Chains A and B, each alone.
Chain A
Amino acid sequence: MTGAIVEAKRKGTNWLIVPGIVWMALFMVVPILMICYVSFWTQTTFNISSTPTLASWKQFFSSDTYIGALWTTIRIWLIVLATTFIIGYPTALFVGLFVKSKTLSTVLLVICVIPFWTSFLIRVLAWRPMLGKEGAINIILMKLNIISQPIEVLLFTELSVIIGMTQIYCVFMVGPIAFMLGRIDRNIIEAARDLGAGFGRIFWKIIFPLSLPGVVVGAIFVSVMVLGEFATAGALSGRKVNLLGNIIVTQVGSLKWAMASVTGVILTVVMGIVIAAFLRIVDLKREL
């Protein structure tokens, strides 16, 4: 009797979660399961049928292009993860720890976020006149007589992809780290300094460990975005750099659904491993 009352009461607010679960199940979980399912379909030149086969899987692992795309994706991901961290951390350190006024640090963070109000694609495109042979960087360097010939490796290479991605994604590293640094109790640092610890020691023993959850959250953001990328690589490498995302786009473009799905499954697996590894370090629900 009373059990039924408790049950009724619980149902009172719990139905609110149902639409959210249903939406995510239908439009996220089912589509991803769909990718796994279709990766075993039989692909012919003009058609696809649901007869199960491993053909597309075999094709993926026997093709240098596809395997190459997998390694390129992992390489670019690791490089961009490192560059966003190296470039972002000092910024976060300044904004989160050295700026004493809360207002100023908020203003600085807002300044960093403002570029995100421009369309993502235009942000990517903006690097072209910057890096090109007749681009701003070459012009400036030549005017300063640092170089006599324009540097050509700046655009339509892997380097330009890395530069572009670093600029686009480093703010996702700065934000969480600055947030964690801002939460550090300044008294701890004062106390350590009173005990005669130098900045290097204080940094490695106190500041860096306390900012680590921010680093991990930032790394998760950067990772999921870089791993799923294709537009930056497409626009800044002149189609020379092929990521898994680019493979999916071109395969879908030529209606090779099965191959696109195989690539999708592999991307999902890579993503799953990366996210799971990061979540092992930090409990996201608690940090929020």
Chain B
Amino acid sequence: MATETAIFEIDGVSKSYGGVNALDGVTLRAGVNEYMSLLGPSGSGKTTLLRVIAGFEVPDSGRVYFEGRDITSLPANERGIGFVFQNFALFPHLTVRKNVAFGMMHGNTRVSPSEIDARTQSVIDMVGLTGMEDRGVEQISGGQRQRVALARTLVMQPKLVLLDEPLGALDANLRGRMRNELRAIRERMGVTFLHVTGSETEALAMGDSVVVLDRGRIIQAGTPDGVYSTPASPAVAHFLNRFNMFDGNLSQGVFTGPFGAVAVTHATQAKDDVYAIRYDRVQVQPLGAVTSGPALKATYIASEYLGSSVMNYFETADGKLCEVEHHLSLGAPETYEPRQQYLLTWAADQAIVFGKEGKL
């Protein structure tokens, strides 16, 4: 049941389209004034989940609660939940001001004209669109449209705002800036954001909590740090795109993989035996160096400069690509000779091991 601290709660929600499960018994709750990221690959059901909460879709089974009330069968316009669309879905025939005032002018709560004007203006000022009020929404840039979409939703003072890949339609530059602004605006308004994204960096950077969704099921939920450092399954690790993952065999505390047999102190229960090591936990040594941890021979291919770090790409003997991330805060990057072999090594306790054996 919904409790007082939860702004919304969904309980065992399932939804299928033509026999395909988009949501499969999802249970989730978010607290008041929280920024929750919902991360998942396309087709994971994350957008469906958002649409069920918003009331655009009716779940096949399960309940949805909002502010302690069962809203499963309440129409979208009576829920009071904001929704920001990936394509912004602005009203193309209206100006910026009319777009923002739309909900107050035509919605089911009566707002006096003077209050409409005041609230519209203050939210337009807040999102930084002052001076654009009378432009048509086709006449402004993508980033400005994003702000209108946000302003239009926030002016209704919802307790919960659902954002469906809101930064997906923006270019990389703008995305970075809007990321910070979204956080700042949310903190100022004290609302709960449920932000759906397919980008792991966005989810990890923005959420107070992160929920990972895969094939209609929640496969992990927690703080960004928790999810990042201890992925619950190979699927999460794979999806975070931060781990070199090796198939192998875990047997009686020993993982046998391309790098030989390594003793494992603890492992997470999973369907497959997988050995994962974070990109930035790998060191590159010359061939023949003495290493304390596991080591793997690999050929250097190329590197890529990523702003705050450098990503080095290596290929192992069996053709697998390994990535080594070097944070520039740790000093200048070393240079490597292309097509030369090096030794990739890491501390054994930094690895995350999944296996059928589970906890040791």
Per the bound structure, the CA–CA distance linking A159 and B313 in Å amounts to 83
B73 / chain A contacts, CB cutoff of 8 Å: 5, 8
A13 within 8 A of B: no
Distance in angstroms from A210 CB to nearest chain B CB is 31
A9 within 8 A of B: yes
B87 within 8 A of A: no
Q: How large is the interface on A (under 10, 10 to 19, 20 to 34, 35 or more residues)?
A: under 10
Per the bound structure, the CA–CA distance linking A30 and B231 in Å amounts to 67
A6 within 8 A of B: yes
Distance in angstroms from B301 CB to nearest chain A CB is 38
Q: Name the segment of B21-29, B58-66, B159-167, B352-360 touching the other chain.
A: B58-66
A2 within 8 A of B: yes
Question: At the interface, is chain A mostly helix, strand, loop or mixed?
Answer: helix
Distance in angstroms from A202 CB to nearest chain B CB is 41
B345 within 8 A of A: no
Q: How large is the interface on B (under 10, 10 to 19, 20 to 34, 35 or more residues)?
A: under 10
Per the bound structure, the CA–CA distance linking A5 and B60 in Å amounts to 9
Per the bound structure, the CA–CA distance linking A31 and B68 in Å amounts to 57
A5 / chain B contacts, CB cutoff of 8 Å: 58, 72-73
Per the bound structure, the CA–CA distance linking A236 and B60 in Å amounts to 65
B58 / chain A contacts, CB cutoff of 8 Å: 2, 5-6, 9
B59 / chain A contacts, CB cutoff of 8 Å: 2
Distance in angstroms from B278 CB to nearest chain A CB is 43
Q: Mark B283-308, 1 if CB is under 8 A from A, else 0.
A: 00000000000000000000000000
A9 / chain B contacts, CB cutoff of 8 Å: 58
Within 8 A of B (CB), among A84-138: none
Instruction: List the B residue with the shortest CB-CB distance to A2.
Output: B61
Within 8 A of B (CB), among A1-36: 2, 5-6, 8-9
Per the bound structure, the CA–CA distance linking A1 and B59 in Å amounts to 12
Per the bound structure, the CA–CA distance linking A2 and B14 in Å amounts to 11
Q: Mark B57-101, 1 if CB is under 8 A from A, else 0.
A: 011110000000000110000000000000000000000000000
Distance in angstroms from A211 CB to nearest chain B CB is 34
Distance in angstroms from A123 CB to nearest chain B CB is 40
Per the bound structure, the CA–CA distance linking A8 and B72 in Å amounts to 13
Per the bound structure, the CA–CA distance linking A8 and B73 in Å amounts to 9
Within 8 A of A (CB), among B300-344: none
Instruction: List the B residue with the shortest CB-CB distance to A8.
Output: B73
B60 / chain A contacts, CB cutoff of 8 Å: 2, 6
Per the bound structure, the CA–CA distance linking A8 and B58 in Å amounts to 10
Q: Mark A55-98, 1 if CB is under 8 A from B, else 0.
A: 00000000000000000000000000000000000000000000
Distance in angstroms from B27 CB to nearest chain A CB is 16
A2 / chain B contacts, CB cutoff of 8 Å: 58-61, 72
Instruction: List the B residue with the shortest CB-CB distance to A9.
Output: B58
**A residues near B, CB below 8 A?**
2, 5-6, 8-9
A-B contact pairs, 12 of them (CB 8 A): A2-B58, A2-B59, A2-B60, A2-B61, A2-B72, A5-B58, A5-B72, A5-B73, A6-B58, A6-B60, A8-B73, A9-B58
Q: 9 additional contacts, CB 8 Å, given A2-B60, A5-B72, A8-B73?
A: A2-B58, A2-B59, A2-B61, A2-B72, A5-B58, A5-B73, A6-B58, A6-B60, A9-B58
Leading 5 A-B pairs by shortest Cβ distance: A5-B73, A9-B58, A2-B61, A5-B58, A6-B58
